[in-house]
Structure 1
Amino acid sequence: MKSKRLLVSLLTVSLTASIALAGCGKKADEKPAEGGNENTSQVKMDKDQYLNVVLRSEPKSLDPSKSADGYTSEVLTNVMESLTRVETDENGKRVINPGAAESWKQSDDGKTWTFKLRDMKWSDGQPVTAEQFVYGIRRTLDPKTASQYAFLLEPIKNAQTFNKDKDGKFNVEELGVKAIDEKTIEFTLERPCSYFLDLTYFRVMEPQRQDIIEKHGDKYG
């Protein structure tokens, strides 16, 4: 009985407080003081800002080597970084800007491209290295991966040979991509390719962690 009276008392206090607060509020037709919006000075942005993106369907895979649908591409573009980015400048012109690579150069004969990486880290704090880009490219070309976009890497020396090697006899060290050091990647092409730089912003040019992929196996992505 006592608990019932207590509940009634609490509800009464709550209702009274609600009425009191409602009475303190502005009337709907009451206008702010002349001279502008009185709430302008009170508006503050949250310290942490978020961008929400809505997808109409679930991505089929977040594996850069195996993904092939547009939804996956949209997610990977926002959470991963390829060597370069394709953007639009102030004149509406499509341009290729630095991404994971802060700079690059092409040899005089057009067959060698060298990319210098900027300092980056994975979400677990591990550094992003040139070897991880090399591993990702090799994995995409490996016929066991069965990547639908392996053909994008065909300008690289011996890429087609590796991708068609069903018997596993190809020496992966002969593939025309290697890490010179932790921050430098060198590509050797079969022949000069006028659109090679355009390939460097595709997801097949994203770094991949061998330790994570081997840990999760077929569940990766």
Structure 2
Amino acid sequence: MSVLVDTARWPAHGRWWAHLASDRSLEELHAFAAALGVPRGAFEGDHYDVPAELVARAVAAGAEAVSTRELLHRLRAAGLRTPKRRGERVLATTSPAPGVRVDVVRAARVPAPHGTHLLLVPAGGGVLLSARGALPPAPAGARGRAALGFRRTWRRGPAGTAVRHDGLLPAAPGEVEVAGARPAALDDPALAGAWWLPLAREHLAR
């Protein structure tokens, strides 16, 4: 067990709140939080916000009571700390392989270091895909455009943790013409593994 909980020191909504985290894996954290009855909506990318009344229960269930400083130190050392910037919200997090973590983040800006940037082209209630089933790449001049969000990929290796951000940008009217393109509905099972799907759904539902 490597679940950590700090002291409830942060006031919000008429209550005091603590942080629940794991310095081993997000899978362990999600399972522990679910067993405590903490809703998934309380997940903040690398921790859960938990009310003061759950702290003692968390410790009784095996969580280690630590200071906030130690909790942050252990998350950083494990490569599990998510830098949170104003206006960003983590919509999904997965660990597809050991030492790899992927966050899908809603944000108006794609931070560096940059990777690939893709365009979201609405088409008949869905999105436009190329003949190969991928979103079209963003032209170089679109990089400064307000973004819908990004995929942040962490890879831990012998030299440390490498981070890359792949952005999702809205297409300008008439900007994209893709040969052999086809529209795809957002509930198409073939899109189930697409990292940008949470961002597309949010954007097209507005």
TM-score by length of 2: 0.23
Higher helix proportion: 1
Instruction: From the two aligned structures, give the one with the greater strand fraction.
Output: 2
Q: Which structure's relative contact order is higher, taking Cα pairs within 8 Å and 6+ residues apart?
A: 1
